[in-house]
Structure 1
Amino acid sequence: MALRAALSNKCGVSSVAVMHMQNPPVNSLSLGFLTEFCIAVEKLEMDKSCRGLIVTSSQPKVFSAGLDIMDMYGKSPEHCAEFWRAVQEMWLKLYTSNMVTIAAINGSSPAGGCLMSLTCDYRIMADNPRYSIGLNETQLGIVAPFWFKDTMINTVGHRTTEMALELGLLYSSSDALKIGLVDQLVPEDQVLATATKTMTKWLAIPDHARQITKSMMRKPTIDKLTSNRETDIQFFVNFITKDSIQKSLGMYLGMLKKRKS
């Protein structure tokens, strides 16, 4: 199991799910993991007693290292298409969720890990200078797609996003707070407890009013992807299977192997 989800009644009469990602060593968002994740979120969405979801990590020092490069390197176009559809699905499930969603970021969260946290309604990060967060795709020679970009613009604004994406910036937790990439910093051992406490405040708002407001705010971004899903998949496949991009990914994997040895 790459996920551990448990429903609790910590927030009064409302049930809140706490989902612990456990895909060692760094919670890479592989095709298998994303599929399992989407099924888990869908089940919670169908459970009318569940009003909130807290997403966190079981792995020390990392929330999620992002998309699994092994699902993009040396794979067939068909596999790449299936993988990218699963990435889209993860984003859609979280970004459109009727539940209150809180990211309890208890470690570093680059690239796809940052995207996952950006889909949530609120982000709480461990106050640790060693942890970083951001959409750093350009550092790998790849490009964050338009819906990654739009999600970040909706959070921190156009100019900050433009610089962050072009330079592939990873922000320290304190810098992430300054630009609004995260909403709150707390000591590492208090991330989950603070998320639970914060959830109570969000659940005090009538569900229908909050859900309609959330949908109204996010609808243009959601519609942009849902009306262009197949085009986006084809663009990704054409891009990621280019020899130059495969070479760049291969070099990055080689660098990671050297680091480990």
Structure 2
Amino acid sequence: MKMKNPPVNRLSLDFLTEFSIGLEKLEIDRVCRGIILTSASPGIFSAGLDITEMVGKSAEHYTAFWRAVQEMWLKLYGSNMVTIAAINGSSPAGGCLLALCSDYRIMADNPAYAIGLNETQLGIVAPFWFKDTMINTVGNRVTEQSLQLGQMYPSPDALKIGLVDQLVPEDKIQSTAAAIMTKWLTVPDHARQLTKSVMRKTTIDKLVKQREADINNFVSFITRDSIQKSLQVYMERLKQKK
């Protein structure tokens, strides 16, 4: 799956919906046993959640948007397929979450590319299931520090803390991902799938049970005047950089 929402693969409501539908189709296609997730945009894997979806909209829109974010995570993190992230660029916030959902993460060996859950830098807070996904990958202490600081890790540092599994030259990402996929597919599907389910079930069930409360918390938070102003300031900074 090659993400193509130029220029930076922002996770908009439409993109998230299309992404989840695409995953669901592949999931029910028994011929497809695994996916390599990458980007069609050079230098950027995904810039994360589309800020414009969270500013100046109605409560109904925020509800629909957050439900789509949840759905993407539930489908990708809970997928029976082998999922490999071929991270060919920077991957902040929601882009990092996409990578964390995968079974294996390969990143371009380029210190200019960084990855992390940097929500606090935008004045917002990563929800508990973002946090749990990162804890399951790098442990509690690294996650706590990373989330509080909104830390972005250049690729060598991301490898050191286990946020990614392997660094390779950018032109070798796809071939490496294909080789890793071949290795993973030698394991009998039923055994691997059950093992993955056992490892991730508690984390997934936690959101499923609290899904509506999580949506309500997001809408309540994002509609605060202070949060709206903070996001508007961030958007203005992005415009100035352009």
Give yes or no for TM over 0.5. Answer: yes
* Aligned residues with identical type, % of pairs: 73
Q: Matches of 1:47 and 1:204 in 2, distance apart?
A: 19
SS in 1 for 2:73: helix
TM-score, length basis structure 2: 1.00
2:30 is the counterpart of 1:48: yes
Q: Which residue of 2 aligns with 1:138?
A: 120
Of 217, 224, 227, the residue aligned with 1:235 is 217
The C-alpha deviation readout for 1:168-189, integer Å capped at 9, x for no partner, is 0000000000000000000001
Q: Which residue of 1 aligns with 2:160?
A: 178
2:15 is the counterpart of 1:33: yes
Letter in 2 for 1:54: I
Structure with greater helix percent: 2
Alignment of 1:96-245 (within 5 A): 96-245=78-227
Q: Matches of 2:34 and 2:240 in 1, distance apart?
A: 41
TM-score, length basis structure 1: 0.92
2:232 is the counterpart of 1:247: no
Structure 1, unpaired ranges of 5+: 1-18
- The CA deviation at 1:220 is 0.5
The C-alpha deviation readout for 1:7-55, integer Å capped at 9, x for no partner, is xxxxxxxxxxxx1101011000000000000000000001001000000
User: CA-atom RMSD, angstroms?
Assistant: 0.4
Total equivalences in the alignment: 242
- The CA deviation at 1:213 is 0.3
Letter in 2 for 1:97: S
Q: Which residue of 1 aligns with 2:65?
A: 83
Q: Matches of 1:152 and 1:34 in 2, distance apart?
A: 20
Letter in 2 for 1:82: A
Q: Which residue of 2 aligns with 1:9?
A: none
After TM superposition, what 4+ stretches of structure 1 lie above 4 angstroms from structure 2?
none
Of 3, 6, 24, the residue aligned with 2:6 is 24
Letter in 1 for 2:40: S
Q: Matches of 2:222 and 2:174 in 1, distance apart?
A: 36
- The CA deviation at 1:206 is 0.3
Q: Matches of 1:98 and 1:136 in 2, distance apart?
A: 28
Alignment of 1:4-15 (within 5 A): none
Letter in 2 for 1:239: F
Q: Matches of 2:174 and 2:11 in 1, distance apart?
A: 21
- The CA deviation at 1:133 is 0.1
Structure 2, unpaired ranges of 5+: none
Q: Matches of 1:57 and 1:159 in 2, distance apart?
A: 30
